[in-house]
């Protein structure tokens, strides 16, 4: 199944459209000629992020922590489908419980309730594609089947799981077509400046050592444009109301191998790489390759961009990132 032209003229709303993943979802929908609305916190910041990507849509300034603003936006836009890329808590300095609850959980309930209140008969796809997180699984090892109960250990994981659970409940009670796509380690242009690949990109401008963890952690590195493609494909799918879907590559790569590949692509001397200089974070996950049977069954597709190609494409897009572009977005 391909998403090409299936969104043409479809009223689509992207929440967190100026964020790392949200901007690429917005770009993909814009290329498909969707009737696009982009929910952001600040129009100026959004334009600086979205205009260079050629995104064309109506900017809607909205405080997603305020239910009246959310309900007013849904009523005004009347979207056939909402892509919820809003999120809070993935960055180390985002630690306010009340904001995490409002954005990661309550927002999902409010949006889902509003969508269930009006039907769009001409649209047969999902009404809401909600982006979840691998951190909803917690320290669970082995194969991460979407049906196993989550055991999150972080604020972000707990509140994202609450949002997923709320969506499942509303979808089940009101037969709303909606799903949660759980993402793993997404990388690409637009990441927060303190994440791994932007740190390596920024290191090209200096000559000192690059401090890293020991790099033994295994992660499913998924290129952001593949993630955007996958979310659009899931939006067209016939998934049952409340379905959870892992969206990843199904391949595990050590952080060390990712860094060494990036060094080759970016022309960084490997003598600068100081593996073990930093402590590995306690919330790091350890699991088998991500199970993708459900993704492939629903979309007949899986992400295909390799790490070397993904890093190269990121480098081609690279521009210095400000400390923060949109504090509440993915």
**DSSP per position, 68-106:** HHHHHHHHHH--SEEEE----SSSTT---HHHHHIIIII
Using the predicted structure, report yes or no on whether residue 324 has a pLDDT greater than 50: no
List of E strands, the chain: 11-15, 35-40, 58-61, 81-84, 128-133, 178-183, 185-187, 210-211, 218-219, 221-223, 243-247, 253-254, 273-274
Over range 299-318, report the average pLDDT: 95
Backbone angles phi, psi at 13, to 5 degrees: -120, 130
Over the stretch 117-133, which tens digit does the pLDDT of each residue have? 999 999 999 999 999 99
CB 61 within 8 A of CB 41: yes
Over range 234-248, report the average pLDDT: 98
Tell me the pLDDT band of 1, cut-offs 50, 70 and 90.
Answer: low
Beta bridge partners of 132: 182
Over range 237-254, report the average pLDDT: 98
Domains in the chain: boundaries:
11-188+221-251+285-304
Which residues have a Cβ under 8 Å from the Cβ of 51 and sit 6 or more positions away? none
Token digits of residue 137:
């699984």
Count of C-beta atoms within a 10 Å radius of residue 61: 13
Using the predicted structure, report yes or no on whether residue 101 has a pLDDT greater than 90: yes
Radius of gyration of the chain (CA): 19
Residue owning tokens 């509440």:
328
Residue closest to 328 by CA, chosen among 159, 136, 79: 159
Using the predicted structure, report yes or no on whether residue 326 has a pLDDT greater than 60: no
Q: In whole angstroms, how far apart are CA 52 and each of 27, 152, 277, 278?
A: 10, 37, 37, 35
What confidence score (pLDDT) does residue 323 get? 37
Over the stretch 153-203, which tens digit does the pLDDT of each residue have? 999 999 999 999 999 999 999 999 999 999 999 999 999 999 999 999 999
What confidence score (pLDDT) does residue 4 get? 67
Over range 61-87, report the average pLDDT: 97
CATH topology of domain 11-188+221-251+285-304: Rossmann fold (3.40.50)
Over the stretch 193-214, which tens digit does the pLDDT of each residue have? 999 999 999 999 999 999 999 9
Tell me the pLDDT band of 330, cut-offs 50, 70 and 90.
Answer: low
What confidence score (pLDDT) does residue 3 get? 62
What confidence score (pLDDT) does residue 12 get? 98
Residue closest to 212 by CA, chosen among 265, 262, 276: 276
Query: What is the spatial distance between Cα 82 and Cα 86, in angstroms, rounded to a whole number?
Result: 11
Which residues have a Cβ under 8 Å from the Cβ of 186 and sit 6 or more positions away? 20, 21, 222, 223, 224, 227
């Amino acid at each position: 199944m391909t998403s090409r032209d299936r969104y043409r003229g479809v009223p689509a709303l992207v929440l967190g459209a100026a964020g790392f993943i949200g901007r690429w979802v917005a770009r993909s929908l814009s290329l498909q000629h969707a009737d696009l609305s982009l929910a952001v916190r600040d129009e100026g910041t959004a334009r600086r992020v979205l205009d260079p990507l050629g995104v064309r849509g109506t900017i809607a300034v909205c405080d997603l922590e305020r239910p009246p603003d959310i309900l007013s936006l849904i009523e005004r836009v009347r979207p056939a489908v909402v892509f919820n890329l809003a999120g809070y808590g993935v960055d180390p300095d985002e630690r306010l419980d009340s904001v995490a609850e409002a954005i990661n959980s309550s927002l999902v309930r409010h949006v889902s309730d509003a969508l269930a209140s009006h039907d769009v008969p001409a649209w047969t796809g999902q009404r809401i594609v909600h982006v979840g997180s691998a951190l909803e699984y917690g320290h669970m090892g082995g194969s991460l089947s979407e049906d196993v109960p989550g055991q999150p250990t972080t604020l972000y994981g707990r509140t994202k799981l609450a949002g997923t659970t709320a969506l499942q409940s509303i979808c089940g009670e009101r037969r709303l077509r909606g799903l949660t796509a759980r993402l793993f380690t997404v990388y690409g242009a637009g990441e927060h400046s303190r994440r791994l690949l932007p740190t390596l990109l920024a290191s090209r401008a200096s000559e000192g050592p690059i401090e890293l963890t020991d790099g033994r952690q295994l992660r499913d590195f998924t290129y952001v444009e593949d993630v955007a493609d996958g979310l659009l494909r899931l939006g067209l799918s016939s998934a049952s109301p409340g379905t959870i879907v892992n969206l990843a590559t199904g391949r595990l790569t050590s952080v060390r191998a990712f860094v060494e590949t990036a060094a080759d692509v970016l022309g960084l001397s490997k003598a600068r790489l100081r593996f073990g200089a930093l402590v590995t974070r306690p919330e790091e996950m350890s699991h088998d390759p991500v199970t993708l049977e459900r993704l492939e069954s629903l979309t007949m597709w899986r992400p295909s961009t390799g790490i070397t190609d993904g890093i190269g494409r990121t480098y081609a897009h690279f521009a210095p990132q400000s400390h923060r572009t949109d504090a509440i977005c993915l």
